[in-house]
Amino acid sequence: MAVIQKVFLKNLTGKFYAKDKNWYQGNYMFTVDHAAPDHNMIDLTYSEWPEDHKSYNFIELDNGQYAAQPNNRCIFFDAASNPKEMKFPDFKVATRKFVVEHNPKWSLGDTDTVMYE
């Protein structure tokens, strides 16, 4: 796991939608993101499987409690960036991992050369 502070969100107020179907408001603190599950892999600070990837934004709530919420449940407010009338996009969960290495057109095949000919 990696702990980061998203500079753009630093000191911003926001709110999140909870399981009880209520909005809770507070201030962004930091984010915890998942790292690669295998120590032999390069640490990219995110899950390798799109449908499993969740980062958690830690929020100090106005009611004195703390919350750790994924991006898809949070809205942060910046007067310079947000429109006056907020709209809610219909996000969908990523379920496909896109790679280009599966197309034989771009593979080297059985050769030991490193240049395409």
Residue 24 confidence (pLDDT)? 96
Q: Which H, E and C letters describe the chain, residue by residue?
A: CEEECCHHHCCCEEEEECCCCCEEEEEEEEEEECCCCCCCCCCCCCCCCHHHCCCEEEEEECCCCEEEEEHHHEEEECCCCCCCCCCCCCCCCCCCCCCCCCCHHHCCCCCCCCCCC
Q: What is the pLDDT of residue 115?
A: 57
Pick the more confident residue, 84 or 41: 84
The domains of the chain are located at 2-106
pLDDT of 117: 54
